[in-house]
Amino acid sequence: MADSQAIPAEEPRILPSEPPGWLSAKVLVPVAMALTAGLGILLWSASKSENSKNEASRLLAEKPGPETWEKLIRDYPGQPATALAILNAAEEAASKKDHRKAAELYEVFVRQFPKHPLLSSARLGEANQLALAGNGASAQALYLRIVTERPRDPFHTAAAVGLARILIEEKRPEAARQVLKDALAENSGSAFLPDVNLLLQQLPPSPSGNPQPTPSPGAQR
């Protein structure tokens, strides 16, 4: 019987590993260049924004007045100094009885600075100037938005007074009465309480029957 000869096992072949496609130079180089460019743009934008902020503040400090306010509003939108310029310009327009311009300036402030500490004051100022300009519909809509907003706006009582006055002008005394009573019920010590009480005292006695409903926000345009 012939001796059986052992056949050596075939050694496994190890294939050379290849880097994944995303590690190739054709991919990494453009990505690195894009990241570098993006970082450079961010740094440049931050530097430019800081320069604009400093320049706007310098202009307002060195030469406050209508010309500077106009320049800041035109050339430096969104800057902290511009917020003050808008409010100053709106106040000046209101003092000159240019109520339409004042309302427009307050609207610019509200649009550019939605998180500013003086936002509520600017919205009330806009509503007041709209009312004085004879735009009762827009003023009423804004007053109503302030009154019904939750969490409660700091100037909700003042807005209720403005809304009630418009309703009285529209010959809707019962709707005005309801707005004022709601303001009293929700009040937490507003400086406008005397105005609320005064308007309530000036209203005619409530007639029998259902009061006129207070307008809803959805009914306003």
Q: What is the pLDDT of residues 177-207, one digit of tens each?
A: 999 999 999 876 889 999 999 999 999 998 7
Report the C-alpha gap between 204 and 113 in whole angstroms. 42
pLDDT score at 204: 92
pLDDT score at 142: 98
Cα separations in angstroms, 176 against 24, 134, 184, 208: 73, 19, 12, 16
Domain that holds residue 111: 41-117
pLDDT score at 215: 57
Both 218 and 143 in a single domain? yes
Both 72 and 46 in a single domain? yes
For each successive 10 residues of the chain (221 residues), what is the average pLDDT? 54 58 58 56 51 87 92 93 95 97 98 95 97 96 94 93 96 96 86 94 79 51 38
Which of 87, 117, 147 is at the close of a domain? 117
- Of 174, 178, 145, whose CA–CA distance to 159 is shortest? 145
In Å, the largest CA–CA distance within the chain is 132
pLDDT score at 139: 97
Tokens of 214: 């207070």
pLDDT score at 11: 58
Tokens of 5: 């000869």
pLDDT score at 219: 46
Compute the 3-state secondary structure of the chain and give helix, strand, coil in percent, each to the nearest 5: 65, 0, 35
pLDDT score at 12: 58
- Of 199, 209, 122, 134, whose CA–CA distance to 165 is shortest? 199
- Of 2, 30, 195, 141, whose CA–CA distance to 187 is shortest? 195
Q: Count how many domains the chain has.
A: 2
Count Cβ atoms below 10 Å from residue 174 Cβ, excluding itself.
18
Both 108 and 149 in a single domain? no
Asked if the structure places residue 9 within a domain, the reply is: no
DSSP class of residue 188 equals S
Residues 17/21/27/31 CA torsion (nearest 10 deg): -100
Both 155 and 190 in a single domain? yes
Count Cβ atoms below 10 Å from residue 177 Cβ, excluding itself.
21
Report the C-alpha gap between 163 and 168 in whole angstroms. 9
pLDDT score at 45: 46
